[in-house]
Amino acid sequence: MLHTPRTDRRELALPLLLEESILQVAVFLSYLISAQFGLDPVFARMNVSPVWPASGIALSAILLFGYRVWPAILAAAFVANFTTGLPPLIAIGIAVGNTLECLLGAFLLRGPSFHNSLDSLHHVFRFLFLSAGLSTALGATAGVATLCLTGVAQWGQSATLWKTWWLGDATGDLFIVPLVLAWKDRSPWHKRSILEITLFFVLLVVAGRFIFFYTSYPIAHLIFPFLIWAAFRFGNRGVTAALLVLSAIAIWGTVMGHGPFSRESTHDSLLLLQTFLAAWAITGLVMAAAVHERRRAERGLEERVESRTQELRESEGRFRDLIEATMEGIAILDERQLLDANRSFARLFRYDLREVMGKDFFELVSKETHGTVVEKTREETAQPYELVGLRKDGTTFPMEVVGKRCTYRGRPARVKAVHDVTERKRTERMKDHLISVVSHELRAPLTSVLGALGTLPSHLTGRLTSDADALIHIAQRNSQRLLRLIDRILDLERIGSGKLSLDLHGLELGPLVEQAIDMNRPYAEGLGVRIELQDAVSTAKVNVDADAFIQVLTNLLTNAAKFSPIGGTITIAVAAREGGVRISVIDRGSGIPEDFRTSVFQRFARADAPGREEQRGSGLGLSISKEIVEALGGTIAFESKEGIGTEFYFDLPLCPEVGESPGHPDQNVPEPRKSEKA
C-alpha cells in the first residue's frame, strides 16, 4: 500500500480548508445581509417581518452545498437577531429555529429523483407543500414561541405574529430558492432569445411601475400574461427572474404608499402584497414546470421517432443490401407495372436496372404465358409456377415465379421472386435420361442375370462345390438387392413426376392384408421371425390400389423383420378409427434411436439392424410408403421405445360406397405385382 507523506497531506488539506472557510463565510454574509434587510424597521415588528429573503438563502445554501453549511446559517441568524437589541438567549433560540427550518426543508425536498432543479411538477409541488409550506411552519412556531416565552411578545399576539412570520419565510423560499436553482444552469441564451428577453423585461418593468406606482386600481392581475410569456418562452430562469423583479418593484411601491395594496399600516400592506406575490410565484413555477415537462416529453418523443426512423432506415438499407446480394430476381409490381426491382432481376432479362423500372410485366414474358400470369395473379396462394421469360435480345428462358401480395409505400402491390430454371430443366432432362437408361438398359439385363443364377444350380447338380454354391447364393442376394434398389428408384421417379397411376377400387381389407402376409412370410421366416394377424375389422372396405397397398405393407413388414430378434413376432393389427381404419405393424426389436426419428421418412435415411448387415436396406422403402399412403388419402406415422419395439401404422379412409356386398378375394383383388421389394 502506498502512503502519502505527512507533508503532502498537509499541503492537500490547506486548500480544502481554505475553500471550506470561504464557503462558510460566503453563506454567513449572504444570510446576514438578507436578514438585516428583512429586519429593517420598515418591514419588521418585534423582529417579525413579512419580508424574509433569508429563509430562501438558507434553504438554497443547504441544497447546493449540503448540510455542512448549517454552522454559518446558525451564526448569521444569531448575529442578525442579536444586533437588533434582543438578549443573547432569545437571539440564539430564534437562530436555532431558523436553522432547523432550512435543514428540515432540504430534507423534505430531497429525494431519489431530485437533482437540485424544479423542472417537473412533482418537484414543484413537493417544494410548495413540504419546504415552503411545512418546514417554514417549524421556524415560525419556534420563533414566536421564543418571543412569547421570554416576554418580548404577548401570547395574545402569537397568532398574528405566527402568520406574519410564516408568510415571510414562505415567500422568501418561493422567490429565492427557485431563482438560485434555476440560474445555476449556465447554458447560454440564443441571440434571438436575448433580444426577446430584453423586450420582455423592459415591458415588465414598465407594467410593474405603472401598477405599483401610478395607480391604486386593483389591476395587479395584469402581471399574469407576463408570467405566461416567461413560462412558455424562457422557462424556469425567465419566470424566477421575472418574479424577483416584480417583487422588488411591488415591495418598493407598496412601502412608498402606492399601488393597489397600499393601506394605512405598512405592515398590513406588506401582508396583503406578500399573499398576492405568493400566488404569482406558485402560478409561475407550476406553469414553467408544466411547460418544461411537455417539452421534455416532446423531445423524448422526437428522439424516439428519430431513433425509430434511423432504425427503419438502417433496416431498409440492410434489407436492400440483402436483396441486392441475392441471386434471385425480386420485383415489386402494381398489378403489372414494375415499381421496384433488384439488379439480379434486371440481369435475368439482360436489362439495366433503370431500363427495367416502370415496364409492364407482360413485356418480360412470352405471349403464350400471359394467361398464366393473369390467372396466378388472382390467386391468393403463394405457390410457385413456371413461365417463359423474354429477354431484351428476344431470346427466351424458363423461369419459376413465386408471387405474394404486399404493401409498398402505403399502397397494395405484389412482390415476385423470379428464378432462372434453365439449369434445373437441363438436370431434369439428364435425370430422365438416366432413369430411362436404368429402366431399359440395366433392369432388363439384371433380371436375366438373376434368372440365370436361379437356374444354374439345377443344371450343375452334383458338379458344384460348397464354396461355388455359396458364391452363387451371394450373387443372387446381391442381384436381388440391386433389382429392388432399381425398382424403388423408379417408384420415386414416378411419384416425384406425378406419373404414379393408382387403380383405385373399393376392396375388403382382410384379403389384402392376408396376401401381404403370405408374400412376406418366407422372408420373415428366413430371419427367424413369425408374423401374426390381429384382425378386428377384416370386412372393412377401403378405396385403394391393391398393388400399392401391398407394397406399403410389404415395406413395413420387411423393415420390421430386419429389426426383430430371432424367434420374435411381428403383429399386424387392423382396428377401426373414426371415419377410417388403422393398419399397424408392431415389432419387438431394439426400437428407433432418438436422434434418428426425425429422419425416418426421409429418402436414403437408413438405420441398419445390428448383426444383420447382409439385410441392409436402401433407405427408400419408408419414404415410398409415405408417398403412397398420402396419395391414397391417408397418413402414416410411428411410435417407438428403445429396447421395447416399434409400431408403424397408417390410417386410410373407409370406402364411401355403402351397401355393396363383399366380393370374393379372387374377384375383388387384382393380381399383385410379382415383386420382392423390401
Residue 678 above 70 pLDDT?
no
What residue ranges in 326-458 does DSSP mark as E strands?
329-334, 337-341, 385-390, 396-408, 411-420
- Angle, to 10 degrees, between the axis of helix 70-82 and the axis of helix 88-109? 140
Dihedrals phi, psi of 327, to nearest 5 degrees: -80, -15
| Predicted local distance difference test score (pLDDT) of residue 668 | 39
- Domain limits, the chain: 14-185, 187-323, 326-420, 425-496, 505-668
CATH architecture of 505-668: 2-Layer Sandwich (3.30)
Q: For residues 332 and 408, what is the distance between their CA atoms, to the nearest angstrom?
A: 8
Measured between alpha carbons, how far is residue 127 from residues 62, 223, 286 in Å? 14, 23, 11
Question: Kindly report the CA angle at 178 between 279 and 276, in degrees rounded to 5?
Answer: 15
Instruction: Assess whether the region 326-420 and the region 505-668 belong to the same CATH fold.
Output: no
Q: How far apart are the first and last CA of the chain?
A: 83
* pLDDT at site 627: 84
Q: How far apart are CA 378 and CA 78, in angstroms?
A: 93
- Angstrom distance (rounded) from CA 241 to CA 231: 11
DSSP-assigned letter for residue 5: -
pLDDT at 676 over 50: no
Q: What is the largest CA-CA distance in the chain?
A: 153
Contact residues for 568 (Cβ-Cβ < 8 A; gap 6+): 528, 529, 530, 587, 588, 589
C-alpha cell at 133: 409550506
Q: Which region among 51-55, 156-160, 217-221, 662-666 has the lowest average model confidence (pLDDT)?
A: 662-666
pLDDT band at 61 (very low <50, low <70, confident <90, very high): very high
Strand partners of residue 418: 329, 401
C-alpha cell at 297: 416529453
Q: What is the pLDDT of residues 230-288, one digit of tens each?
A: 888 888 888 999 999 999 999 999 888 898 888 888 888 888 888 888 998 999 999 99
- Report d(CA 418, CA 396) in Å as an integer: 14
Among 13-22, 201-210, 572-581, the range of highest mean pLDDT: 201-210
* Predicted pLDDT of residue 7: 54
Q: Are 507 and 542 in contact (CB under 8 A)?
A: yes
Distance, CA of 650 to CA of 660 (rounded, Å): 24
- CA count, 13 A, side-chain hemisphere, 623: 19
Bridge partner list, 412:
407
List the grid coordinates of 467. 464354396
What is the CATH code for 14-185?
1.10.1760
| CATH superfamily of the 326-420 domain | PAS domain (3.30.450.20)
Percentage of the chain with pLDDT > 90?
24
Buried b (16+ CB within 10 A) or exposed e, 81-112: bbeeebeeebbbbbbbbbbbbbbbbbebbeee
Q: Which three cell numbers stand for residue 570?
A: 411381428
Q: What is the pLDDT of residue 380?
A: 64
**What was the pLDDT predicted at 508?**
86
46-72 mean pLDDT: 91
At 145 the pLDDT is: 93
Confidence of residue 665 (pLDDT cuts 50, 70, 90): very low
The tens digit of pLDDT for each residue in 524-573 reads 888 899 999 887 666 788 888 887 888 888 889 988 888 888 889 999 99
Q: Which pLDDT does position 572 carry in this prediction?
A: 92
Q: How far apart are CA 168 and CA 252, in angstroms?
A: 16
The pLDDT value recorded for residue 381 is: 65
pLDDT-wise least confident of 123-137, 178-192, 314-328, 392-406:
314-328
- Band of the pLDDT at 72, cuts 50, 70, 90? very high
pLDDT of residue 493: 66
